[in-house]
């Protein structure tokens, strides 16, 4: 099977066919070993900011997810689309539960999740051109149900759920499809978003004093914000061998964009959970909660990086 403008190799190939894959896998296992050593030291001293069981659960979750994410991202466009579809299906399920959406709305969100990711395989035009049609279909719900009590509310949250989750996650497919060396850029985005969260956690526990958003997320601090930027910067620097042609300015701008997306996504997720009166979006991932709790930073970072790269290309063409 092929898609217009794409070769069979672009759609599916062995991950080790990508020259960046070996470096990425080696880096993952080195970092996991270092993290395990640090955890053993900190938990033995009764430090770390959380219970040892929670911290080790988080490490185990990363030990499974990080290699799986790498293998998927470097295996071609179809595996990336499958991964984004799984992310979209689970996060929209958690979204529907948190906001108490009716069963019909949850089914539509699941259908839209698969449809959006599938359309992204054909490019940004195919993905974005269908949004008005999807909105029209969604607007039938309050009419057919004749719901004058919650119809508009459920429609609004359902439409927001589609725009926030399947639509933005589909940019992971567009990134691999349309950006040169897109698989490495997508992996760097995911890794830097995660490192940004970790950096914020560490900095917040050590130098965090002034609260960043006391109403939305009391644990977020200005010190943690610095950790967001430093964590993203460190991840991008470590992944420089997979990003040929990256200049120091590129590294800084990419780190800032990802850190900004990570903070934005985390605070938006916090606003959602405050609205719903819950601490976690679910129980899908040990040590973290729901999948939405884990990928909220990634969801915002991906489209921001996609458009940042697109804008950089446009500006470089204009200069020529």
**Which tens digits make up the pLDDT trace of 101-130?**
988 889 989 999 999 999 999 998 999 888
**Per the domain annotation, does 290 fall within a domain?**
yes
What are the DSSP calls for 252-300, one per residue? Answer: HHHHHHHHHHHHHHHHHHHHHHHHHT-S-S-SSBTTTBSHHHHHHHHHH
Q: Can you tell me the distance from the alpha carbon of 168 to that of 190, in angstroms, rounded to the nearest whole number?
A: 14
Would you state the pLDDT for residue 220? 73
One domain for residues 92 and 35: no
Domain boundary, last residue among 178, 202, 221? 178
Would you state the pLDDT for residue 1? 52
**Per the domain annotation, does 4 fall within a domain?**
no
**Per the domain annotation, does 11 fall within a domain?**
no
For 95, list phi and psi in degrees, rounded to 5. -60, -45
Percent over 70 (pLDDT), the chain? 88
One domain for residues 151 and 85: yes
Would you state the pLDDT for residue 206? 75
Q: Can you tell me the distance from the alpha carbon of 299 to that of 91, in angstroms, rounded to the nearest whole number?
A: 10
87 and 312 Cβ atoms separated by less than 8 Å = no
Tokens describing residue 114: 């698969």
266 and 235 Cβ atoms separated by less than 8 Å = no
One domain for residues 311 and 194: yes
Q: Can you tell me the distance from the alpha carbon of 142 to that of 151, in angstroms, rounded to the nearest whole number?
A: 5
For 242, list phi and psi in degrees, rounded to 5. -95, -5
What are the tens digits of pLDDT across the range 34-89? 988 988 887 776 665 567 777 788 888 888 999 999 999 999 999 999 999 999 99
Domain boundary, last residue among 178, 195, 217? 178
| Inter-CA distances, 29 with 22, 194, 242, 316, Å | 11, 16, 16, 37
For 63, the domain range is: 19-73+181-320
**Per the domain annotation, does 218 fall within a domain?**
yes
What are the tens digits of pLDDT across the range 170-202? 999 999 999 989 999 999 999 999 999 888 878
Name the most confidently modeled range: 34-38, 98-102, 205-209, 256-260.
Answer: 256-260
**Per the domain annotation, does 31 fall within a domain?**
yes
**Per the domain annotation, does 311 fall within a domain?**
yes
One domain for residues 225 and 165: no
**Per the domain annotation, does 130 fall within a domain?**
yes
One domain for residues 300 and 155: no
pLDDT band at 287 (very low <50, low <70, confident <90, very high): low
**Residue of 90, 98, 58 lying closest to 278 (CA atoms):** 98
Would you state the pLDDT for residue 4? 67
The mean pLDDT of 257-275, rounded to a whole number, is 88
Domain boundary, last residue among 178, 193, 214? 178
One domain for residues 47 and 89: no
One domain for residues 69 and 100: no
75 and 12 Cβ atoms separated by less than 8 Å = yes
Angle at 219 between CA 213 and CA 223, to 5 degrees: 80
| CA end-to-end distance (rounded Å), the chain | 38
pTM, entire model: 0.90
Tokens describing residue 311: 């804008």
**Per the domain annotation, does 185 fall within a domain?**
yes
| Inter-CA distances, 33 with 39, 49, 62, 199, 286, Å | 10, 20, 12, 18, 19
Q: Can you tell me the distance from the alpha carbon of 93 to that of 189, in angstroms, rounded to the nearest whole number?
A: 24
Residue 123 DSSP code: -
Residue 146 DSSP code: T
Q: Can you tell me the distance from the alpha carbon of 43 to that of 219, in angstroms, rounded to the nearest whole number?
A: 21
Residue keyed to tokens 């010190």: 223
Q: What is the total count of domains within the chain?
A: 2
175 and 189 Cβ atoms separated by less than 8 Å = yes
One domain for residues 163 and 194: no
Q: Can you tell me the distance from the alpha carbon of 203 to that of 217, in angstroms, rounded to the nearest whole number?
A: 16
One domain for residues 208 and 249: yes
One domain for residues 131 and 207: no
pLDDT band at 319 (very low <50, low <70, confident <90, very high): very low
One domain for residues 86 and 52: no
Lowest mean pLDDT among 240-244, 281-285, 300-304: 281-285
Would you state the pLDDT for residue 54? 77
One domain for residues 115 and 33: no
Alpha helices by DSSP H, 167-247: 168-169, 171-178, 182-206, 222-238
Angle at 186 between CA 184 and CA 188, to 5 degrees: 65
Tokens describing residue 1: 């099977």
């Amino acid at each position: 099977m092929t898609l217009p403008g794409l070769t069979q190799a672009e759609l599916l190939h062995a991950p080790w066919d990508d020259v960046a894959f070996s470096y990425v896998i080696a880096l993952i296992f080195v970092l996991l070993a270092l993290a395990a050593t640090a955890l053993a030291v900190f938990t033995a001293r009764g430090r770390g900011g959380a219970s040892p069981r929670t911290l080790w659960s988080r490490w185990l979750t990363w030990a499974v997810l990080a290699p799986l994410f790498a293998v998927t991202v470097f295996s071609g466009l179809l595996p990336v689309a499958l991964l984004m579809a799984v992310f979209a299906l689970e996060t929209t399920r958690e979204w529907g539960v948190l906001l108490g959406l009716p069963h019909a709305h949850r089914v539509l969100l699941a259908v839209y999740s698969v449809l959006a990711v599938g359309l992204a395989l054909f490019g940004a035009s195919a993905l974005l051109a269908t949004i008005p049609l999807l909105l029209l279909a969604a607007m039938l719900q309050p009419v057919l149900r004749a719901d004058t009590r919650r119809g508009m509310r459920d429609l609004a949250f359902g439409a927001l759920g589609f725009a926030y989750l399947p639509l933005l996650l589909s940019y992971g497919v567009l990134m691999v499809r349309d950006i040169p060396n897109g698989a490495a850029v997508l992996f760097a985005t995911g890794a830097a978003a995660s490192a940004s969260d970790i950096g914020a956690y560490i900095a917040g526990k050590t130098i965090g004093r002034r609260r960043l958003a006391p109403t939305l997320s009391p644990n977020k601090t200005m010190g943690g914000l610095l950790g967001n930027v430093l964590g993203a910067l460190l991840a991008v620097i470590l992944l420089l061998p997979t990003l040929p042609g990256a200049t120091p300015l590129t590294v800084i701008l990419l780190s800032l964009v990802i850190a900004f997306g990570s903070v934005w996504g985390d605070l938006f997720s916090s606003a959602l959970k405050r609205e719903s009166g819950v601490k976690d979006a679910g129980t899908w991932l040990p040590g973290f909660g729901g999948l939405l709790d884990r990928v909220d930073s990634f969801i915002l970072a991906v489209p921001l990086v996609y458009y940042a790269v697109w804008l950089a290309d446009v500006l470089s063409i204009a200069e020529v």
